[in-house]
A and B are shown apart, each in its own frame.
Chain A
Amino acid sequence: MTEQSGAAPNSQQLAHYGQAGELFAITLVNLLLKVVTAGIYHFWAKTRVRRYVWSHTSFAGENFEYTGRGVQLLKGFIFALIFLSPLALIWGAPRFFPIQEYEQFALLWLLSLGVYPLLLWLIGFARFAARRYKLGHTRWRGIRFGMTGSARSHGNKMLGQTLLISITFGIYTPYMRSNLTANLLNNSWFGDQRFRYTGTGSGLIKRFWGFVVISILLGAIWGFTVQPFLASLLEKLQSDGGSSGLLLQLTAVAVGLASYVPWAIAWLWFRAGEIRYYVANTTLDDVQYSIASLNTFEFIWLWTSNVGALVLTLGLAYPWVAVRSARYICDHLRVIGELDFASIGQSSQEVLKSGEGLAEALDIGAI
């Protein structure tokens, strides 16, 4: 229980030993079953992949365990659909009103005033609920993780904090992100022990402004180089009535997409710092965490190469991406100090029987 690792004294590490080949075999079977079931198998497939990833991640010699079920995800998704369909109706209805186009436009604009806040709220809600489901179905040494607090209040926070951002012209962004993270982490439990997050976001201000400045510079460069090129390309496309062929169209799309890459890299630069900050400010039962060795450039490379691999292989590289990312995070996450395992008792929270529907329907969240 006291495996020493080089960097920090008295620290322990997570380990991930999944193999891309095995996960590939799993995803392949999943794929076949999804085809056969017209996609319904999706929820079981997701569960199967999670079970593999969780059970191949270990801490202090013991693997994690995922206890979620496919049918629970399906149930959650159906609930979410029932909940969301009236919204979709309201949103879609003006299109069928016998009114002028500009009136429709005005109506949709008015509706969006109500719908976008609601959407923000829903995203906050869904994130919290999805995390609660995932943690509630994660065990280590038979002890459940879990979450207290309410998804509704996270939705409120999401809405309120976003409002603060727009009032402060974005200055508030790192605080907002930190506050939302605080709400998630402070409500997270391992057994009867609560995680504590003490960050405020002030340590992220400099980096965030760095990101803003870089973004503006990139925007200027884009305006002088990429934009004219794209404009000339579009003009060419329009002037010959679109018969100039697929190649030109593809070039336009590729250039358009590629011009986002520098921004993505700038964002990842911020994100790496943010992750280090969040982890450094988190404790559980007097034990601290650190991911200080998460190197910004490695992190950027991890992400860009992952996305590149996924795009080039039309998603087939997913198993490799998943295993590699999990391994990278585990290799850098350190738990500093000794956990008193005997004093960590079982969680008293009840386990959710359905979950993640909203997150699924709104397309949020990774694995």
Chain B
Amino acid sequence: MRYQGHYTDGKSAQRRPAGVQLGSGALRIYGEAGEVLETWPYDGLELLEEVYGRGPVRLHHLSQGNAVLTLDSVEILAELESLSGRRYISHRFFRPGPRTALFAALALAVVVAALFFGLPRLVAPLAVLVPPSWEQALGAKVVEQLNAGADFCDAPAGAATLQRLTARLTGTLQLPYPIVVRVSSREGLNAFAAPGGQIVILRELLESVESPEELAGVLAHEIAHAAERHPLQGLLRAAGLQVLFGALTGDVTALDTAAGQFGQMLVLLSFNRADELEADRIGTGLLNAARIRGDGLLTFLRRIGGKSQAGAGLPNLLSTHPLYEERIRQIKALALTEGAAMSARDWRALRDICP
């Protein structure tokens, strides 16, 4: 069979009509008068680009420089493949239509689903692989970024009290790193756990708790987060998302950017529901073991529950409503109702930790 098309020799921009016939080992190109212009062996014959159903098919030969053979229809490919014994990857069967659109939408849904559901599940096993020393270094960086422009309060008596309370709460815990608790003069009614067991209580929170047991409740909750390595998992989740979005948008510098913004990310991320409930459960366990009444967190949550809904730029100590109710119920069920966190004198010292 003879196929119709055009031939350009790669030496000038002149193109000439050409006929093409397929032989056993080579393709032959004929000129208008029937003369043989070129003979291209199948070995070295390539498609210029993907072929679509409407054509054209454009071929060139590795030994023929810039010469191009253009065939108007895709019919030639079937015979070419059978004679040359090669597969020419092409899209000649590709017809965009409702099915393609459906497939595209499905594929997209799969990607999005993988992003939002697969990633969180990957995070916990990944966090286990991070050496505690790395986590501590990372945490130090996060705390430094979050505390930029603010100071840590360190009046000796208050700091000693805080340390004693921390030691009492962590007594029964097996931890890969020591828990370090500090009070920051940064604005906001909050407390957060950074990776590597570094906990920061903001001054405003210290001033708004009404009893040492409330503070102990908050602290136990944050210690539980740290013990379960939730902050690291949260960071991995956020970093993973950022890198993936970078991949989607073709931003190859995403990994680098992600590394530079851990602090910011910790601000943006919030622990998920399961993490919060787990931290309450374990935290209450710590309080019980230390014989401190566990309803402190409860009264604190209730009192500031209304205030802190949208979060002052920090992860919410207490998140949105349904979870709030559930947390209250769980704490009520588990907590002791007696036991002081510290003496009145210690409490005064701790409240005066900031100058």
A interface residue numbers (CB < 8 A to B): 19, 21-22, 24-25, 28, 31-32, 34-35, 37-40, 42, 45-46, 51-52, 55, 62-63, 65-66, 77, 139-144, 190-191, 241-246, 315-316, 339, 341-346
Q: Which of B28-81 contact A (CB under 8 A)?
A: 48-50, 52, 56, 58, 60, 66-68, 70
A-B pairs, 3 with minimum CB distance? A21-B96, A142-B10, A344-B13
Contact of A144 among B52, B66, B309 (CB under 8 A): B66
Check B310–A31 contact: CB distance below 8 A.
Answer: no
CA distance A339 to B13 in the complex (A): 10
Collect the chain A residues with CB atoms within 8 Å of residue B12's CB.
Answer: 143, 191, 341-346
Q: Answer whether residue B108 sits at the interface, using C-beta atoms and an 8 A cutoff.
A: yes
Interface size of B in residues (CB-CB distance below 8 Å): 51
Does B23 lie at the interface of the complex (its beta carbon under 8 Å from any beta carbon of A)? no
Q: Are B312 and A243 in contact (CB under 8 A)?
A: yes
- Inside 8 A of B254's CB, which chain A residues have their CB? 39
* CB-contact partner of A21 in B6, B9, B10, B100, under 8 A: B100
With a cutoff of 8 Å between Cβ atoms, the chain A residues found around residue B9 in the complex are 142
User: What residue in chain B is nearest A74 (Cβ atoms)?
Assistant: B252
Binds A, one of B152-160, B205-213, B242-250: B242-250
The reply to whether B249 and A315 contact each other, CB–CB distance below 8 Å, is yes
Chain A contact residues: helix, strand, loop or mixed: mixed
- Residues of chain A within 8 A of B187, CB atoms compared: 241
Whether the Cβ atoms of B58 and A65 lie closer than 8 Å is yes
Residues of B in contact with A (beta carbons under 8 Å apart)? 6, 8-15, 48-50, 52, 56, 58, 60, 66-68, 70, 91, 94, 96-97, 100-101, 104, 107-108, 111, 114, 187-188, 243-244, 246-252, 254-255, 307-313
How far apart are the CA atoms of A246 and B307 in the complex, in Å?
15
Considering the complex, give the chain A residue whose CB is closest to the CB of B9.
A142
Contacts of B188 on A, CB cut-off 8 Å?
241
Quote the shortest CB–CB distance from B18 to chain A (angstroms): 13
Structural contact, B107 and A142, CB atoms closer than 8 A: no
A38 near B243 (CB under 8 angstroms)?
yes
A31 to B251, CA, bound (A): 12
Q: Which residues of B contact A242 (CB under 8 A)?
A: 312-313
Point out the residue from B49, B243, B308 that lies within 8 Å of A243, measured CB to CB. Answer: B308
The chain B residue sitting closest to A22, CB to CB, is B96
Chain B residues contacting A245 (CB-CB under 8 Å) are 310
Residue of B nearest to A247 (CB): B310
